[in-house]
Amino acid sequence: MKVTKAQAQANREHIVETASVLFRERGFDGVGLVDLMGAAGFTHGGFYKHFGSKADLMAEAAASSLSRSLAGTEALDIQTFIDIYVSRDHRDRRGEGCTMAALCGDAARQSDELKRAFAEGIDRMLQALVQKSPTVENAAPGETRAKMIDVLAHAVGAMVLSRACPDDSPLADEILEVCHARISASLPVSPGSEQ
């Protein structure tokens, strides 16, 4: 039975979503095509009907999940973003969490196409954080962006370090608690609000 274009597109999107979760859980090199296609409910032979290579799928899955992360944070103020991001719940849900925290280390060793997908996703997240940041009177040009780079790098780094520890490690929680407090204390304050 011939698959319609609409069904083929739906199948492709399902493969991308499945890959996105598996890549965040296991890393790019920890997922083979047979396992990936099986998890998506297809045979591995159909992979090349949708993608030219695993590298193509990796870049598309990363771009897709980075876009979803951005969409999930657009309605949040910066403090709420930090409260959710630098948390045990986020740490423990790797496959559902932020692509940056799960895969930036892997992306550094991958193709330029994948690195471009990460750079675009990171930049869009930074732009969103800058737009949410309170305007600081007499701030130098670029100061708000520099602060949001610091906030995002600190949050992602906290998640990476915490995940590197055993699940029951007191250090895993200590990293999250200390980084959450430090990031929160460093956030710009809206004019007229008290610290």
Which secondary structure element, helix H or strand E, spans residue 81, and what is its range?
helix 78-85
Alpha carbon distance 180, 85 (integer Å): 9
Instruction: Inform me whether the pLDDT recorded for 190 exceeds 90.
Output: no
pLDDT at 192: 53
Rounded distance between C-alpha atoms, residue 123 and residue 142, angstroms? 14
Which of the residue ranges 139-148, 154-163, 183-192 would you say has the lowest mean pLDDT?
Answer: 183-192
Q: Could you tell me the pLDDT band of residue 1, with boundaries at 50, 70 and 90?
A: low
What is the tally of structural domains in the chain?
A: 1
CATH of the domain at 118: 1.10.357.10
Helices vs strands, H then E, count in the chain: 10, 0
Per-residue pLDDT reduced to its tens digit, 51-94 = 999 999 999 999 999 999 898 888 899 999 999 999 999 999 99
Q: Which pLDDT score is estimated for 44? A: 86
State the CB neighbour count (10 A cutoff) for residue 51.
19
Rounded Cα gap, residues 35 and 42, in angstroms: 10
The residue segments making up the domain with residue 161 are 5-186
C-alpha to C-alpha distances, 32 to 27, 36, 75, 108, nearest whole angstrom: 10, 6, 36, 19
Comparing CA positions, the residue from 98, 111, 7 lying closest to residue 60 is: 111
Q: What is the 3-state secondary structure (H, E, C) of 175-191?
A: HHHHHHHHHHHHCCCCC
Q: Answer whether residue 63 is part of any domain.
A: yes
pTM over 0.75: yes
In a domain, 194, yes or no: no
Please report how many Cα atoms fall inside a 13 Å half-sphere around the Cα of residue 25, on the Cβ side: 12
Position 31 in a domain: yes
Q: Is residue 195 part of a domain?
A: no
Question: How many residues are listed for the chain in this entry?
Answer: 195
For residue 193, pLDDT over 60 is answered with: no
Residue with token string 């083979």:
32
Cα atoms found within 13 Å of the Cα of residue 84, Cβ hemisphere only: 12
Q: Do 12 and 40 form a contact (C-beta atoms < 8 A)?
A: no
* For the chain, percent of residues with pLDDT exceeding 90: 78
Average pLDDT, the chain: 91
The greatest distance separating any two alpha carbons of the chain, rounded to the nearest whole angstrom, comes to 66
> How high is the pLDDT of residue 195?
44
**Residue 193 counted as domain residue:** no
